[in-house]
Amino acid sequence: MAVLELNSVIGGYGDTQILHGVSMAVEKDEIVVIIGPNGAGKSTAMKSVFGLLKLTSGNVVLDGQDITNTPPEQVVRHGVCYVPQTSNIFPTLSVEENLEMGAFVRTDDYRPRIQEIYEIFPPLAEKRRQAAGTLSGGQRQMVAMGKALMLEPKILLLDEPTAGLSPKYRGEIFSIVKTIHAAGTPILMVEQNAKQALGIAHRGYVLVDGKNRFEGTGEDLLNDPDVGEMFLGGGKSGNKNPDGDANG
């Protein structure tokens, strides 16, 4: 059974419809990647899971349970954690305080989980007392993911985890994504670095203008000439990462 499903989701912000029927699924053992041009609705599709926009049609199903239009704090309690594209850490709080914030709905002892997070992200253990905002871009992204993982989610949603990072940190983030997956957490990830992301993905979706355009295994999409031409930088209209804030 899929851990997460979007079925013909239609919705947007206020009266503006952005998603015109988006369907996707993530199985329990998968890394699934969403690619597509700027403004395609990739972040909006993620926010739709999180109750951050109003869906007028379609539904979101988590582990067999309909969670359509459930408010964000409830979605967290259901076991979905989301690392947004920007502003995903508390910069003035220490690394450890950020992780503690991530545990906000836990009522049990979360200390052992902090140790596990430090094992996944060793640089964070060294910098546990340092203000998160003073870390490098790659390490700030580790804080954001670590914070989300504090709840041991059923699924982790990542919106462009490598945006603005140098190639070295990008590779590091992709390998961390694989580690998180190998430790048992399914992942749905939006990425502009489409080739690299599809390289580690089990399956992928290409969204264009708020609709599904292509889908398939990571390998199929990488080898599909139409996808390559339009979305993998294979042709004139290759989608470049416009993110200028080089914070790697």
Ligand X SMILES: Nc1ncnc2c1ncn2[C@@H]1O[C@H](COP(=O)(O)OP(=O)(O)OP(=O)(O)O)[C@@H](O)[C@H]1O
Quote the least distance from Cβ 9 to ligand X, whole Å.
12
44 binds, among Mg ion, ligand X, none (CB under 5 to 8 A by kind): ligand X
Site for Mg ion contains 192 (CB under 5 A): no
Instruction: Give the helix, strand, coil percentages of the chain, each rounded to 5.
Output: 35, 25, 35
Quote the least distance from Cβ 20 to ligand X, whole Å.
11
Q: Which is nearer to ligand X, 43 or 193 (CB)?
A: 43
Specify the 3-state DSSP secondary structure of 130. coil
Quote the least distance from Cβ 39 to Mg ion, whole Å.
8
Q: Footprint of ligand X on this chain (CB under 6 A)?
A: 13, 16, 18, 36, 38-44, 85
Neighbours of 86 (CB within 10 A): 11
One-letter amino acid of 182: A
Question: Per-residue string for binding with Mg ion, 52-71, x by CB under 5 A?
Answer: --------------------
Site for Mg ion contains 43 (CB under 5 A): yes
Burial of 65 (0-12, 13-18, 19+ CB in 10 A): exposed
Q: Which is nearer to ligand X, 40 or 221 (CB)?
A: 40
> Per CB under 5 A, which region of 42-50, 163-171, 174-182, 221-229 contacts Mg ion?
42-50
Q: Which is nearer to Mg ion, 37 or 123 (CB)?
A: 37
Alpha-carbon gap, residue 36 to 197, rounded angstroms: 12
Alpha-carbon gap, residue 98 to 28, rounded angstroms: 27
Q: Which is nearer to ligand X, 44 or 98 (CB)?
A: 44
18 binds, among Mg ion, ligand X, none (CB under 5 to 8 A by kind): ligand X
How far CA 164 is from CA of 73, 155, 160, 230, in Å, comes to 28, 24, 9, 22
Quote the least distance from Cβ 18 to ligand X, whole Å.
4
Continuous segment of H or E residues that includes residue 179: helix 167-182
